[in-house]
């Protein structure tokens, strides 16, 4: 039986070559992870805005139901203003919603919070909604 000579190129990878490949993979992961985190955060904010749009529709339904009375005109209470029953969106997925009532300008304010992300929707009596993210 003839012995086959193993050439240097057929022996496999050296430890240095494997180390270089692992270093390249680590660098790529370090670059990709912050991008992934940013995209995830933007997705959370988009989810909150969509849910707040559902709350906006509910508030407008309340507005129409009370016949031209904007929520600030029918919120009453002895120890301070109370917010009419506006249900939070059903699929909250970890978001907590706070109906904070009417601000000094007469605009209705709803806040969504998840972890350190807060999205505040301000709904004016003209029906326009603005969003602030913190």
CB 97 within 8 A of CB 109: no
Look at the alpha carbons of 76, 77, 82, 85 in this order and tell me if their dihedral is positive or negative.
negative
Determine the structural domain holding residue 116 and report its residue range.
Answer: 13-133
Q: What is the CATH number of the domain that holds 60?
A: 3.30.700.10
Reported as a single tens digit per residue, the pLDDT across 14-69 is 999 999 999 999 999 999 999 998 898 888 888 888 888 877 777 777 777 766 55
Asked whether the predicted pLDDT for residue 111 surpasses 90, the reply is no
Residue 4 lies in a domain: no
Report if residue 103 sits inside a domain: yes
pLDDT at 106: 72
Whether residue 5 lies inside any domain: the answer is no
Residue count (the chain): 134
Total of domains in the chain: 1
pLDDT band at 113 (very low <50, low <70, confident <90, very high): confident
pTM of the entire structure? Answer: 0.58
């Amino acid at each position: 039986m003839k012995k086959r000579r193993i050439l240097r190129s057929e022996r496999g990878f050296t430890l240095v070559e494997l180390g270089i490949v692992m270093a390249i993979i680590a660098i790529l992961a370090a670059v990709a992870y912050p991008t992934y985190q940013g995209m995830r955060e933007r997705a959370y904010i988009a989810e909150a805005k969509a849910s707040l749009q559902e709350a906006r529709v509910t508030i407008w339904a309340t507005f129409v139901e009370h016949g031209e009375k904007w929520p600030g005109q029918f919120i009453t209470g002895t120890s301070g203003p109370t917010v009419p029953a506006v249900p939070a969106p059903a699929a909250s997925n970890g978001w907590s919603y706070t109906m904070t009532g009417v601000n000094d300008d007469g605009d209705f304010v709803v806040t969504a919070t998840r972890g350190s992300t807060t999205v505040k929707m301000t709904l004016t009596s003209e029906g326009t909604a603005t969003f602030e993210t913190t």
